[in-house]
Each structure stands twice: as structure tokens, then as C-alpha cells.
Structure 1
Amino acid sequence: MARNAKKALEELAHRGPHEVLHGDLALVGLPGVVCTPRSGKGLPAVAFGHGWLQSPRRYAGLLRHLASWGVVAAAPGTQRGPLASHRLLAADLRTALDICTGVRLGEGAISVDERKLAVAGHALGGGSAILAAAEDPRIRAAATFAVTETMPSALAAAHRVTVPGLHLAGGKDLLAPAVSNAQPIAAAWGGPVQLRELPKATHLGFTEGRHWTELLLDGKPEYRTQRTARALLTAFLLRTLNGDERGAALLDDDFSGATLDRARTRTAARAA
């Protein structure tokens, strides 16, 4: 690992400088959770989509981490059943962004800049994030972890997404192998895009805590996978939404544990 990339990983994998507040999206009409810095005006925001059968609380550490770096992070708790609607989850991600921009959070001490919005997600939540990004011109960046195909098709929607994209795939993911999911989506992406493979990551490696779905799905929570994903997503959002280049070395270089797929990476994702 290059020294600069290692330094950026160490910095961005740790909590940021902001104290974090927790909230319940249900209070404003949408089941789910939201994490924010204690205060701040004109902040960036990301709506995060959960994986199949997963609870948004399985990503609570990630949401808190993003908030500690100054990013408002909201995760809808809808469409959690076996017949989840990808289209409706995409709509709920957009609604979560509406809440972030339209509701004064944190007892009035927080506001979100509608020019600094992103979507992200794990597995079907990642596919739904792509659907949302293809339809909502407010969204300025999109990221996925172990993305899976959706109905309507995330692969078809990827052609229409012209904002920067970051896709992380697990090298040991048996449910969403990169060759049939993240790779074709990255190849179809309509804007700047980066694809990385985490060689030792399984499908559930991005989730947190124990859950009954470990008996059904591939893998289990993995600290190293979570740590690497947090750092990369933080660097990506800070760069694309805030023009903050503290994670530039992490995004631009190869490093151990997250191999850059240069064949499917086009143009470094920088702030517009």
C-alpha cells in the first residue's frame, strides 16, 4: 500500500471530528433511521438502501461514521420483506433525501444543501440507489456495495447515470459476484466511475451485527470489509459532494484489500 493511501485509509476509517446525533425517520412519515452531525449548515446528505431482508440498523455504524465526517446519512426501513419492491425502495431513497433537505434536523441546527445529495446501498439497496440516481437530477453521486440486479433493471439504468459512481464488490461474494453484477454495471455507467474488488469480502461482510439471514445468505459481518468500505465511501462522498480531497490518495491508488479495476474505471470522480 502506498504511504499516502495508507495514511488516508487510517484517517478516514476512524470517526471524524463531529459529534453524532441519531433520529427516527418515522417521526416525519418514513420508517428508518437518520444520523447527523450535531450542527452544521449546507451539509451534504446521502440516502442509503439496505440489502435484501436486512434492517437499516445493520448499517448503523456506517451511518454514524458518515455523520461524524459531516455527512447527513438516512436509511429507509421499508421494503424489507422477501418480495421487496426495488422501484419503491428507490422512491423511498428519494423521499429520504426530500426529508433531509426539507426538514430542519437537529433541533434546527442542521441544514442540507440540495446541491450536495447522494445515494448508496448494499445489494438490492445498491441497485435501488442506481434506479434513484437515474431518475433524480438532484443526485450528484452514487455508490454501491455488492450490488445486485433489480427490477426494473439497475444495469439498464446505469447507462442513464452521469454522476460519479463508486462500486465495491466482494471477491468471495457467492450471491453477487462482480463478474455478473458490479462489472457490467460499471462498464455501462454513463459518468465517471470506479470499481474496486475487496478480495476477502463476502456478501454480508458489509453488514454489522448478527442476524438470522446469515443462515440463508452468503457470509457474515467482517470488520476489515466494513472498515475499508467506510473509508472509501467517506472519501468518495467528501470529494464528490464537498470538493474535499483528503481521501484522494485512497481513491486514486491501489491498496491492499481493495483492488482497483482499472479496465472499468473511467476518470477520477471529482466534485462538480
Structure 2
Amino acid sequence: MANKAKHLAEELSHRGPHRVLRGDLALVGLPGVVFTPTAGRGLPAIAFGHGWLQPPERYAGLLRHLASWGFVVAAPATQRGPLASHRLFAADLTTALDVCVGVRLGDGEISVDPGALGLAGHSVGGGCAVLAAAADSRVAAVATMAATQTKPFSTDAASRCRMPGLHLAAGRDLVAPTVGHAGLIASNWGGEAQLRLLPKANHLGFTEGRHWSNLVLPGKSEHGTQRLAKILLTAFFLTHLTETAKYRPLLAEDLKGAVIEREEDELVR
């Protein structure tokens, strides 16, 4: 089983079979970016929340990777200031899902299945994804990366999330300690939940390139951390937003650099 998981991880580390389009959410009234396959009907969609002070462009590689595997991925560029409203950002993530479902994308060649919606996010964007999921019964799966606390508390909102959850924690995170944030979200999760620890990752390891916020936040971009995030989020959303069962073995096994810390319920049945 471990060898099978390794082979599946290697497969998902590469771009998927779809060519990818990039669009501007501002055209429909919400600042941000959207990545889609070039065409497809009834596609799954994910709204992605950026980290504190971060632009969505710092996650372009991950968003493009998910789109290459058949997902429509929308990332609002709102609430980027130091005193951003978590409640409003959660609402913007919900609006991003509404846009994916209600607007025909890609010259009318792309549509989204309203029964295959997910949320994901990094840092405060992960916490806000939890807030949004707790209030939106449409959401079928949630993934967070180095999630931080929010107001209202994401750790409390987690108990109202009945859908599967995948939570990645960074072992060298000085902003969102494992036991303080991602661990509490996973332990309070109302549905199936898995917490994975990336021991060598830091808080900003999930982001790409350089940004002025590196001057005020500890950590830096890490290729290995981004690779693991691409593998795990792609496997998780393919499993829970599509009828694909192929990647379930990967979700059940430790990966090099990403070990399963705790499962409140069995994520893979």
C-alpha cells in the first residue's frame, strides 16, 4: 500500500491532463483570479482563501495545478489589509462559489456542478474557509494549510462542519503552532477529519516567490512544501468532489514529509 501511495503521489505531483485558462474575477464584481480547464461541463469548483497580507498570486502554482486536474478554482483578492474582516472574507469565499456556479466561464464552455463545491485556504484564509463551510451546506469538502485563528473562532466553527476536512500543519510554523490552530480545528471538526504534519515546513512555505510581507512574517517560500500541498489537496478534492476513488490509498498513508497526526474519524472508508 505504501508503494502504491508513493506512485500516486508522484503522479499527482505533475500537472494534470487539462490545459488551463486564467481569468479575472473583477469582471463579475469580485476582485481576484480564477483558474479553469479550457472546457468542461459540470466541473467541481473550489474557492481559495489567501493568507494574511498575501495576494492570490502567491498561490498561482497551486491554483493552476488544481485547474489542470479538472477543477475551477476562484481566489478572491479581498480583505488583504492588516485589520481585515474575517467574517467578510468568509462571505467573499461564499460569493466566489456563487460566481463559479452562476456564471458561465471560459467563453461559455465551462460550467460547474453545484453539488461538487469545496473550500480551501492558507493561514487566515484557511480559518475563513472553515467559517464559510460552517455556514454553507453546499460545501462538500474543506482543506486548510497552516490555518490560523479567526474572529469568529474557526476552532468553534469547525464543530459545525460535517463535510470531510484535510488540515495541513507546518512543523516549523511560528505563526500558527500545530497544537494551537490546525490541531484544534481538526480535533473539533464535525465530520471526517485528517491532520497532517509537514515537519520541515514553515508558515510561508505554502506561498510562492517573494513579497514585502516576508519582512513582518517569519518563514519563506518552500518548493517541497508547495509540492506536498499540490499532491494532497489534489488527491483530497478528487476523492471528495468527484467520483474518482483512485487516490484514496494516498490519503490513507503517510507521505515523506507529510505524516498523519490524528484522525477523528476515518477519512478514507
Normalised-by-shorter TM-score class: over 0.9
**Counterpart AA for 1:40:** G
Q: TM-score, normalised by structure 1?
A: 0.97
Q: Percent identity?
A: 64
Equivalent-residue separation in structure 2 for 1:181 and 1:268 (angstroms): 20
**Counterpart AA for 2:156:** A
Equivalent-residue separation in structure 2 for 1:140 and 1:84 (angstroms): 26
How many residues matched? Answer: 269
**Is the CA contact 1:236–1:269 (under 8 Å) kept in the aligned structure 2?**
no
Q: Which residue of 2 aligns with 1:230?
A: 230
Q: Which residue of 2 aligns with 1:194?
A: 194
Report SS of the residue matched to 1:169: strand
Please list every run of 5 or more consecutive structure 2 residues that lacks an aligned counterpart in the other structure. none
Q: Which residue of 1 aligns with 2:266?
A: 267
Please list every run of 5 or more consecutive structure 1 residues that lacks an aligned counterpart in the other structure. none
CA RMSD in angstroms comes to: 1.1
1:157 pairs with 2:167: no
Deviations 1:45-67 (A, max 9, x none): 00000000000010011110000
Q: Which residue of 1 aligns with 2:136?
A: 136
Equivalent-residue separation in structure 2 for 1:253 and 1:77 (angstroms): 34
Q: Which residue of 1 aligns with 2:125?
A: 125
Q: Which residue of 1 aligns with 2:209?
A: 209
Equivalent-residue separation in structure 2 for 1:245 and 1:252 (angstroms): 12
Misfit runs of 4+, over 4 Å: none
Deviations 1:112-167 (A, max 9, x none): 00000000100000000000000001111111000000000101100100000000
Equivalent-residue separation in structure 1 for 2:246 and 2:47 (angstroms): 22
**Counterpart AA for 2:141:** A
Equivalent-residue separation in structure 2 for 1:72 and 1:265 (angstroms): 29
Give the Å deviation of 1:265.
Answer: 3.9
Q: Which residue of 2 aligns with 1:5?
A: 5
Q: Which residue of 2 aligns with 1:114?
A: 114
Counting only pairs closer than 5 Å after superposition, residues 42-121 of structure 1 correspond to structure 2 as 42-121=42-121
Give the Å deviation of 1:27.
Answer: 0.3
Equivalent-residue separation in structure 2 for 1:234 and 1:247 (angstroms): 9
**Counterpart AA for 1:43:** L
Give the Å deviation of 1:216.
Answer: 1.0
Equivalent-residue separation in structure 2 for 1:166 and 1:231 (angstroms): 12
Equivalent-residue separation in structure 1 for 2:230 and 2:26 (angstroms): 25
Give the Å deviation of 1:269.
Answer: 4.8
Equivalent-residue separation in structure 2 for 1:269 and 1:42 (angstroms): 24
Equivalent-residue separation in structure 2 for 1:246 and 1:119 (angstroms): 21
